[in-house]
Amino acid sequence: MKAPNFWWTAPSTPSALLAPAALVYGAVAARNLDRGRRADLGVPVLCIGNLTVGGAGKTPTAMALGKAAIALGRKPGFVSRGYRRRGRSPLLVDPQAQDAAATGDEPQLLAGIAPTAVGANRKKAAERLISECGCDLVIMDDGFQSAQLAMDYALIAVDARRGLGNWRVFPAGPLRAPLKTQLVHASAILLIGKGEAGSAVASESARSNHTTYRAHLAPIDADRFDGMRVLAFAGIADPQKFVETLKACGAKVERSLGFPDHHPYDANDIARLSQEAWGHGLQLVTTAKDAVRLRSGPEASRMFLKECEVLDVALAFEAEDTAKSIIRQTLANFHRRRYGV
């Protein structure tokens, strides 16, 4: 499913018609956030969440903070639900033995940084990281609204270009729960990228006495795309953002195709993309997350991936010491929660 366009425009008739359903959904979501039975793991927990349905750069943020934790001498482990994966029981991710169908696509990327566990029950997944991998810090990629774990720091990622859309609760808008309720449980806001929509979120963050950090997604090895005529395709929350990133690298994006987030490419998709690229003499380019899914597919999918260039990105904080500062604050909050000082 793709997010409806009216979510990202000014409140309109569809959002008004869905307001009663949003009121019910919001009440349930708020109750879960306020009264959820959050398990204490006995180690610090840092959550990377977002306020809206869909992606906002959580996984690159989690990866950057995982690297910062390692640099500070910690042994972090990532917990993810493993969206659209096969099975629900907790699983330690082994990219050499498991594909994206078994783990989800994003956990494959996280596992390249630190031990990663997936599971609908985040408590059980985290316990495996602690008992089997010796992790002394848990970083949750998403799970802010699940209220399953006691969190010591909740960093909320916001795409500055899209912001909070129409600021309405699902299904009238993209918010996962009423904004004020979510902000009560947040520690800080992270605006990723640039955009006027992000400025409005920063203002709301300041009114709530939250720190607002800023960062951007920096392309890795961007120079190789300069001047390249490409067909860009992506199955992520905001494919247009991928297109804009490619253009910023100097690529000439002559055609682009967007698919729903976590889209499993089938033979028809691959044939269509190949035909369009060959027919117009364009280079296929996709994201690292899409590449994980293609690599986990049948042989035809893997062969198709060899025709593609992959644009990878890394999160870069505006202030260099931000990531380490967040890790240190997480540890301090845990100590205060655990020992009262």
What is the domain extent for residue 31? 5-74+136-215
- Residue at 257 is within a domain: yes
In this structure, the number of other CB atoms found within 10 A of the CB of residue 133 comes to 16
Instruction: Kindly state whether residues 169 and 227 are assigned to the same domain.
Output: no
Q: Is the dihedral of CA 165, 169, 175, 180 positive or negative?
A: positive
Domain boundary among 159, 182, 215: 215
Condensed to tens digits (0 to 9), the pLDDT of residues 34-84 reads 999 999 999 999 999 999 987 789 999 999 999 999 999 999 999 998 887
The Cα–Cα gap between 91 and 124 comes to 9
Instruction: Kindly state whether residues 54 and 143 are assigned to the same domain.
Output: yes
In sequence order, the 6+-apart residues with CB closer than 8 A to the CB of 142 are 48, 49, 50, 58, 80, 81
pLDDT of 85 above 90: no
Instruction: Kindly state whether residues 159 and 270 are assigned to the same domain.
Output: no
Instruction: Kindly state whether residues 209 and 235 are assigned to the same domain.
Output: no
Q: Is the dihedral of CA 51, 54, 57, 62 positive or negative?
A: positive
Condensed to tens digits (0 to 9), the pLDDT of residues 293-304 reads 999 888 999 999
- Residue at 40 is within a domain: yes
Q: Which amino acid is at 19?
A: A
**DSSP label of 226:** T
- Residue at 208 is within a domain: yes
- 234: three-class secondary structure by DSSP: strand
Instruction: Kindly state whether residues 286 and 166 are assigned to the same domain.
Output: no
Strands 116-118 and 137-141: unpaired
- Residue at 117 is within a domain: no
Rounded mean pLDDT, 229-250: 94
- Position 69 scores a pLDDT of 98
* Beta partners for residue 140, in sequence order: 47, 79
Instruction: Kindly state whether residues 140 and 236 are assigned to the same domain.
Output: no
Condensed to tens digits (0 to 9), the pLDDT of residues 266-294 reads 999 999 999 999 999 999 999 999 999 99
Rounded mean pLDDT, 333-338: 94
The pair of structure tokens assigned to 109 is 């990327």
198 touches 241 (CB < 8 A) = no
Whole-number average pLDDT of the chain? 94
Instruction: Kindly state whether residues 288 and 203 are assigned to the same domain.
Output: no
Instruction: Kindly state whether residues 225 and 210 are assigned to the same domain.
Output: no
Separation of CA 197 from chain center: 19
Residue 293: closest CA among 325, 270, 316, 275: 270
pLDDT of 87 above 80: no
Length, in residues, of the chain: 341
The Cα–Cα gap between 72 and 63 comes to 14
Band of residue 235 on the pLDDT scale cut at 50, 70, 90: very high
- Residue at 116 is within a domain: no
- Residue at 225 is within a domain: yes
- Position 341 scores a pLDDT of 74
Instruction: Kindly state whether residues 167 and 226 are assigned to the same domain.
Output: no
- Residue at 112 is within a domain: no
From the annotation, which residues make up the binding site? 52-59
- Position 340 scores a pLDDT of 85
The rounded percent of the chain whose pLDDT value lies above 70 is 99
Condensed to tens digits (0 to 9), the pLDDT of residues 179-220 reads 999 999 999 999 999 988 999 999 999 999 999 999 999 999
Q: What sections of 81-178 are H helices per DSSP? A: 100-103, 105-110, 122-133
From the annotation, which residues make up the binding site for ATP? 52-59
Domain boundary among 171, 188, 215: 215
Domain boundary among 215, 242, 275: 215
Q: Which amino acid is at 200?
A: A
What CATH number is given to the structural domain containing 169?
3.40.50
Domain total in the chain: 2
Band of residue 101 on the pLDDT scale cut at 50, 70, 90: confident
Q: Is the dihedral of CA 68, 240, 154, 104 positive or negative?
A: negative
- Residue at 319 is within a domain: no
- Position 58 scores a pLDDT of 94
% helix, strand, coil for the chain, step of 5: 40, 20, 35
pLDDT of 307 above 90: yes
Instruction: Kindly state whether residues 173 and 225 are assigned to the same domain.
Output: no
Rounded mean pLDDT, 100-107: 90
**DSSP label of 164:** T
- Position 1 scores a pLDDT of 58
Instruction: Kindly state whether residues 63 and 140 are assigned to the same domain.
Output: yes
pLDDT of 243 above 70: yes
The pair of structure tokens assigned to 240 is 């247009």
Instruction: Kindly state whether residues 227 and 301 are assigned to the same domain.
Output: yes
Condensed to tens digits (0 to 9), the pLDDT of residues 142-155 reads 999 999 999 999 99
